[in-house]
Structure 1
Amino acid sequence: MEVVRVLHMNGGVGEASYANNSLVQKKVISMTKPITEAAITELILCSNNSSMGKTLCMAELGCSSGPNTLFVAMEFVKIVSQLWRKHGHDQLPEFQIHLNDLPGNDFNSIFKSLAPSFQKQLLQEMGAVGGLIAPPYPYCFLSGVPGSFYGRLFAAKSLHFVHSSYSLMWLSKVPERVETMNKTNIYIASTSPASVINAYYEQFQRDFSTFLRCRSEEVVGGGKMVLTLLGRKSESASTKECCYIWELLALSLKEMVSQGLIEAKKLDSFNIPQYTPSISEVKIEVEKEGSFTIDRHEVSEIAWAACSGDSGFYSPEYSKKGGDGYNVAICMRSVAEPLLVEHFGRELVIDQLFQNYSNILSDRMSKEDTKFINVTVSMTRKQ
């Protein structure tokens, strides 16, 4: 599987689109908002404004498409503008907002649905439209940057702030030889041998180290980076808190094998290119690479059931039809469907697969306390 080509969330605004099924991600961004706000504030207060230039640049890595795409960018512009005015600066900086994701991302939805209204919404939230604040108003310039963040994306020393949420747990590729060692599992599982767990961890180490090295060239001295990943509290990489959601999808796939709808060898060779690290594993790689200082780190959790709730961000007429199990299943479908279709082919009966998955999830969620674990780290580029 060529991850760079295949990995992307479901585009558009349909029932199984990421745009209509990213409520958990939105809630996690809101949960980590105090960390993001503190990093932006420190960036401005601890920097020499004249040395920062007339343009402040931020990058949203793994932006996907949908209502979350510009959430942090909005906060970045608002906080900087407020601090600039508070300290008596007559002229606000201009803002360059880079939106990055892999080439298969639905950038069309971003620039058709979100970008045109960004400046207007920003001014409304700042109180400019009602005359609550006087000019100057911020100028913001949005750009799409397709490409893998496991390589260089931006000019050297051009970024002041980098944000990424629920993206960096995705690996650049499935670890070598995993498919021959991890049969019937689609990810690290309780039955996976130690060799599989080690292969996944080593791939994470390589990828995250590469990510840090690339960003170290692009972020200015004193620049900030806030990263949130799906992770775990436990030091065991096979704990249920990070693997269970995929184990249950594997059960649905096995059910389709038993029904003769997909081949067993196809299932044996399918593995998810993801690793959910502990906070200590993240810290080890940051310290080993050496370009950034960790300012703050946090582990939080959010229930799987948070996939339920208000939806239809783009489409007011859209509402979720099922209970918690259905809502989690369709959220996972918005993330995993492109990978599944690429591997199993269009003959895979996606609707049936996720109906089975929905039933399994409903059963387990009624009996267990199921949660996603989030690892957030805020850091500063060393001078």
Structure 2
Amino acid sequence: MDVQEVLHMVGGEGETSYAVNSTFQKTGTTIAMKVVLEGIMKVYNSTLPQCLCIADLGCSSGTNSLLVLTQIIDTIESVRNRLGHPLLEYQVALNDLTGNDFNTIFKSLPALYERLKKKKGERFGPCFISGLPGSFIGRLFPCNTIHFVHSSYSVHWLSQVPIGPEDNKGQIYLAKTSSSSVRKAYLEQFQKDFSVFLRSRYDELVPGGHMVMTMLGSKSEDPFSRDFCTLMELLAKSLKDLVSKEGRSNHQEIFDVNWDPNDDNHNEGFMFDNISSARNAVRCVRAVTESMFVHQFGEAIIDNLYQRYTEIIAEHLSKENAREKSKYVSLLISLKRK
């Protein structure tokens, strides 16, 4: 499977859409926001550009697509006005694969422009937002043109299913039971993709430019330890070496987000129910994975597939201590171009 041709989040604003079922991603983005704003402020203060160029890689669609951008503009404009700096123009590229629902984003832009105009007034410069379809595993922009790159829960995707190993039967991902040849093939594919990704961003960022990434990963330094269960956990082993070749890491952090994004320990009114939590968790997964299953098996099985998946997750969550263990591990990395 060529993932770049098949993968896309569920579009629109319906019950199973990514726009409706991306609370988990919003939680991770909110946690990462402090690091994002620190990074963009360092770029602005060190370069004082006339036009601040921002790229969001893997933007998808829905309210999350513009969440980081609005926070960046609010922060920059507050500092700019306080220091009496001249008007600043914003150029923003929202990137995702060609199957992404860019139309939903575009429909939301007039309302965003109106809010910015009303809130910022005449002391707010032009803001140009465009969609850029294509894979970020490779070049997207001219050299030395981007000040800040943001990517949330996108970089862990591989460009393709690794070629070669065929002994991973019974699994749809890299699992504990996968053979050493399968593990090696997935690791090599990730290292190849991520190396190209980092080299491309290095070429595109201006000197002193920043990039902040949030992605799924693992707390274990050994991706083949007993808690190893998914492709994403390969990041823990290979990330450090690859990053060191392409820039300086300013910040690295690991945090957890519940499978059920509504199961927030700070939400005192939340009452845990394994069936409801299973439904919430599966909606998030379906919004991300449905396109690949439709490509392989057709649409007829989809509802039954995710219904059965809900039953299995509910059974898992009913077990003792399962709720405490049912969390996504997220890696947050901030890099500065040398």
Tell me whether the two structures share a fold, i.e. TM-score over 0.5. Answer: yes
Question: What is the 5 A alignment of 1:215-226?
Answer: 215-226=201-212
Aligned mate of 1:378, from 317, 325, 334: 334
CA distance in 2, matches of 1:20, 1:117: 19
Give the partner amino acid of 1:373: V
Equivalent residue for 2:280? 327
Instruction: Describe the superposition over 1:8-42 as per-residue Cα deviations: whole angstroms up to 9, x where unpaired.
Output: 00111111110110000001000111111111121
Equivalent residue for 2:269? none
Equivalent residue for 2:161? 174
Equivalent residue for 1:115? 109
1:235 aligned onto 2:190 = no
Aligned residues: 324
1:338 aligned onto 2:291 = yes
Give the partner amino acid of 1:117: A
CA distance in 2, matches of 1:173, 1:226: 24
Instruction: Describe the superposition over 1:102-148 as per-residue Cα deviations: whole angstroms up to 9, x where unpaired.
Output: 00000111101x21211233356xx44xxxxx631132111000000
CA distance in 2, matches of 1:211, 1:198: 20
1:359 aligned onto 2:314 = no
The structural deviation recorded for 1:173 is 0.5
CA distance in 2, matches of 1:48, 1:9: 35
Query: Unaligned 5+ residue runs, structure 2?
Result: 265-274
Give the partner amino acid of 1:115: L
1:72 aligned onto 2:97 = no
Aligned mate of 2:172, from 186, 208, 220: 186
CA distance in 2, matches of 1:241, 1:163: 29
SS of corresponding position for 1:305: coil
The structural deviation recorded for 1:205 is 0.6
1:284 aligned onto 2:236 = no
The structural deviation recorded for 1:279 is 4.3
CA distance in 2, matches of 1:36, 1:280: 24
Question: What is the 5 A alignment of 1:196-275?
Answer: 196-238=182-224, 243=229, 275=232
Equivalent residue for 2:256? 301
Give the partner amino acid of 1:350: I
Equivalent residue for 1:146? 133
CA distance in 2, matches of 1:344, 1:176: 20
Question: 17-26 or 323-332: which moved more?
Answer: 323-332
CA contact (8 A) 1:160 1:220 kept: yes
Give the partner amino acid of 1:331: C
Alpha carbons of structure 1 residues 187 and 236: separation in structure 2 relative to 1, 3 Å: farther
- TM, length-normalised to structure 1: 0.80
Query: Unaligned 5+ residue runs, structure 1?
Result: 129-133, 245-273, 310-321
Instruction: Describe the superposition over 1:234-279 as per-residue Cα deviations: whole angstroms up to 9, x where unpaired.
Output: 12335676637xxxxxxxxxxxxxxxxxxxxxxxxxxxxx534444
SS of corresponding position for 1:212: helix
SS of corresponding position for 1:95: strand
CA distance in 2, matches of 1:242, 1:73: 34
The structural deviation recorded for 1:371 is 0.5
CA distance in 1, matches of 2:226, 2:97: 29
Over aligned residue pairs, what C-alpha RMSD do you find? 1.8
CA contact (8 A) 1:230 1:277 kept: no
CA distance in 1, matches of 2:194, 2:235: 13
Give the partner amino acid of 1:282: L
CA contact (8 A) 2:95 2:134 kept: yes
The structural deviation recorded for 1:334 is 0.9
Give the partner amino acid of 1:145: L
Question: What is the 5 A alignment of 1:306-317?
Answer: 306=261
The structural deviation recorded for 1:99 is 0.2
Percent identity between the two aligned chains: 42
Alpha carbons of structure 1 residues 363 and 122: separation in structure 2 relative to 1, 3 Å: farther
Alpha carbons of structure 1 residues 92 and 241: separation in structure 2 relative to 1, 3 Å: farther
SS of corresponding position for 2:172: coil
Equivalent residue for 2:271? none
The structural deviation recorded for 1:3 is 1.2
